[in-house]
Structure 1
Amino acid sequence: MSLTSIFAYEINPFQGAVIETDLFPDDISVFSHTLSRTLKEVEEKGLQLVWLFLPLLQAELVAPAVNLGFFYHHADENGLQLVKRITAGAFVPGYATHYIGVGGVLIDEQDRIL
């Protein structure tokens, strides 16, 4: 990866950039520089947020990302999801922590379940 490149990303329906890289460079300075260039492009496009998933095996990249303004969203056994607001006050949805179900029963006048 050259020092003039950016990380590939997709724009989601909520005007957020989702960085799509399965494996980031191991060199922290290359990672930081490339991420900075990516953030600059995203900001120039007027997007709201940037989403960055760091694989567990590349946890050393968390500190450089946080230094660029990312914060924790959630973690799972595979890695850590970070997000950065490009636009102040941009909405960051919460992470699902549980499921809620709904049920219903119809009973007629004779107390029979329909």
Structure 2
Amino acid sequence: MAGSRLPAHGKADDHASTKPTLHASPKDHRAWTSATALLLLVPPLAMQVTDQVNWGVFDFATAALLIGCVALAWELSLRMTCNRVRRRTIALALAASFLLLWIELAVGIIGN
């Protein structure tokens, strides 16, 4: 095509016109806050149904901190890169880290 620009690797980027931004809309913050709140509502509901779920204040604070840190890291990664492969890699790393920490805190699979 005349006048079209291709990157050095010869493939057209689907995100060439988009740039990462460090400005988030209030809608983004509401979405993350709502998702965190909904996740934190699961244990109290489970505590009403069964005696096997027994969370205290420290458990809720830890869960909120862990979920909030993952949400913040994901938000920062969205702002810093537009590359889909990098975003998927970051999402996988965050999910694996979250699950590993959650399981470790719940049952202690690493060490004693």
User: Scaled by the length of structure 2, what TM-score is found?
Assistant: 0.25
Structure with the larger helix share: 2
Normalized per residue, the structure richer in strand is 1
- Greater relative contact order (CA < 8 Å, ≥ 6 in sequence): 2
Give the TM-score normalised by the residue count of structure 1.
0.25
